[in-house]
Structure 1
């Protein structure tokens, strides 16, 4: 994918990434998303249209609501953040924005996991760890429930793990 790809552009916005997460467990309308994200209904609708046009959400329900019709969408299963986009600066910037915002809201009294690494490992170790990380995130997504469901806690998770290119000679000489 290139930076001008409409699917990449659609998911390379922090609000749209949050919307995809919220709609993973249950369908939500633009009004529900607006309330959850503390944005205007018009802005939520605009972001939702971009996600719909790009094929990241699907319409699952139209229901009568206050004399009108409420459309509820859910995230299409599978992850739009595939290996193809991991190195894309647009997506990395969007993930970094969400991480900064979530980190500011972190509950201090409970345990979390914070780590960072740039390591050298055997290829088979990398393949095993990458697959386990993907499986852990799939487990977390599969366990997701409707926002504010009784007995649930809100968690923030941002994960990027990828192979690094070797620095070019020019990059090495600047270090």
Structure 2
């Protein structure tokens, strides 16, 4: 994995992916992230440094707090997640991990949307649908508020939609499947 793009490597860790989500609506410190994620301050700082090193977060505020300096970061908007093609399997694994965690936290009897599809579409339909999905994600991110803001509810959203290669999938015989 040493040849893997450093941005992709940073994105491919579930905690860092969650941090980016939490930092999207506004800045947070490592201490605030640690409390929200139920991890140590040291671990939150380590992951935050990694995100900062590859340019996925930016320092927006530095202030004195309890005799020390508190640094607050936010996600750099325009995340490159959608542009990762070589690392798609790695990102899919991270998203799957995150989705499993979020699904376990689903509110009982709450409305949601679940979709799994492998579809054949004409290119124009796909381009229009992809743009609508990107716009929807942008709208939701724009409406996001910091964690636990009064009057808000936590929402889980994991989405990966992409064009696949046009090649037949390998089929296995019935004997191999049993």
TM category (shorter chain) comes to over 0.9
Range with bigger deviation, 78-87 or 24-33: 78-87
Work out the number of aligned pairs and report it: 172
What's the secondary structure of 1:74's corresponding residue? strand
What's the secondary structure of 2:61's corresponding residue? strand
The gaps in structure 2 that reach 5 residues or longer are: 174-178
Cross-structure match for 1:132 = 132
Cross-structure match for 1:174 = 172
The gaps in structure 1 that reach 5 residues or longer are: none
Provide the rounded CA distance (Å) in 2 between the counterparts of 1:58 and 1:90: 24
What's the secondary structure of 2:130's corresponding residue? helix
Q: What aligned pairs does 1:55-70 form with structure 2 within 5 A after superposition?
A: 55-70=55-70
Cross-structure match for 1:30 = 30
Cross-structure match for 1:80 = 80
Query: 1:123-157: per-residue Cα shift (whole Å, max 9, x none)?
Result: 11101100000000000000000111111010000
| TM-score normalised over the length of structure 1 | 0.93
| TM-score normalised over the length of structure 2 | 0.91
Cross-structure match for 2:176 = none
**Measured at CA, do residues 24 and 37 of structure 1 come closer, stay the same or move farther in structure 2, by a change above 3 Å?**
same
How much has 1:105 moved relative to structure 2?
0.5
Cross-structure match for 1:100 = 100
